[in-house]
Amino acid sequence: MARYGNARLEGKFVLGPMAGYSDIAFRLLCRKHGAAMCFTEFANANALVRGGRESWELARTCAEEMPVGIQIFGSDEKVMADACRAIGERVSSGLLFASCIDINFGCPSGSVIRAGAGSALLRHPEKMASIVSACVSASPLPITCKIRAGWSSGKSAPGIARLLEKAGAAGITVHWRTATEGHRRSEGWGVILEVKRAVGIPVIGNGGASCPQKAVRLLSETSCDAVMISTGALGNVRIFETSQALLRGKTLPEPSWRQKLADFKEYLLLSEKFGVLGEKRLRAHAMEFLRGQAGAREARRRLGGAKTVEEIVGLMEEFAPQAI
Ligand SMILES: Cc1cc2nc3c(=O)[nH]c(=O)nc-3n(C[C@H](O)[C@H](O)[C@H](O)COP(=O)(O)O)c2cc1C
């Protein structure tokens, strides 16, 4: 059984962190459907250290969802270490639950890069190592890292992974695309195998595992310890169990609309239960559940204009996929 931080993974497919989507309700739903581990949306280390309520809300986890990794981002060693210490204190006092603290070295968004964080750090491997080393010293929890193949060339990840391992990282997740290439390449996950060969710590492969077939191929062709599925789980939380079944040689049918609607409603209930229900998030998830359904164009258009939770739920209940 693979380990990742303090987690023992009872499966090969984990849910990746997704800002705006991978909240506590969605993570619990993915765990129910076979995700071996989940990650929180990234939280700004600066804001955590300042006690920012919204950022602590993003980092909120519960016992039932374990194993879970809490992801943070930032560019300053001291701030990152302080954030790890603060998370560690809350975990020790039973307020939060986590198997590791995961450092984001992969986000390519403009605001994060301008702050010198996320994938901007891929251009400064020594700085990445000093952040990891400071976090490892401050944190009672293992530190893991999420990186990309490189900044603009796919060659740097194995060397970076080796440096991070030396700095004390307990695991590496590698997205095989570079920070600058967007989604231009559709396949090229050989770099994950190179990272796996370069280090002795567990490696999770990420990128493009959009269906069970691709998830299983990524796992077998890269020898990674587990596969991280992010966008492939949006609107399809059953992808973890269908991928795990396929790994055992069993092809499960695609979830029906009835099953998807039931999953959406369970997400709604969990969101209410854990206090994360909001129109914006619910609409974003609803859009994803409708994606690919025959005749969903009009429903998605109306969803775009829906203002309340009731309207969103009503549209989902009304929708019936066209027979093809
Ligand atoms: C809407 C959205 C939000 C994301 N937020 C995060 C994040 O907070 N932290 C992170 O490390 N990656 C984040 N990612 C990247 C994904 O976790 C993942 O690395 C990427 O989508 C590739 O995996 P996939 O092909 O399985 O989707 C985000 C991706 C999307 C689409």
Q: Strand 7-8 to strand 3-4: parallel, antiparallel, or no bridges (unpaired)? A: antiparallel
Structure confidence by residue, pLDDT tens digits, 72-86: 999 999 999 999 999
**18 CB within 6 A, ligand 1:** yes
Alpha-carbon separation of residue 65 from 33, 61, 98, 231, 282 (angstroms): 12, 7, 9, 20, 20
**Mean pLDDT along residues 16-33:** 98
Q: What is the DSSP string of 265-291?
A: HHHHHHHHHTT---HHHHHHHHHHHHT
Which pLDDT score is estimated for 1?
85
**pTM for this predicted structure:** 0.97
Task: Flag whether pLDDT at 183 surpasses 90.
Answer: no
Among 70, 230, 281, 288, which residue has the most ligand 1 atoms within 8 Å of its CB, making it the best to mutate? 230
The best mutation among 14, 18, 107 to test binding of ligand 1, ranked by most ligand atoms within 8 Å of the C-beta, falls on: 18
Q: What does the pLDDT look like over 231-283, one tens digit per residue?
A: 999 999 999 999 999 999 999 999 999 999 999 999 999 999 999 999 999 99
3-247 is classed in which CATH architecture? Alpha-Beta Barrel (3.20)
Interval between CA 230 and ligand 1 midpoint (Å):
6
pLDDT at 323 over 80: no
Atom of ligand 1 nearest to the CA of 177: 22
Specify whether 84 is catalytic: no
Give the pLDDT score at 40: 98
The CB of 19 under 6 Å from ligand 1? The reply is yes
Q: How far apart are CA 158 and CA 24, in angstroms?
A: 32
- The Å distance, Cα 105 to ligand 1 centre, comes to 12
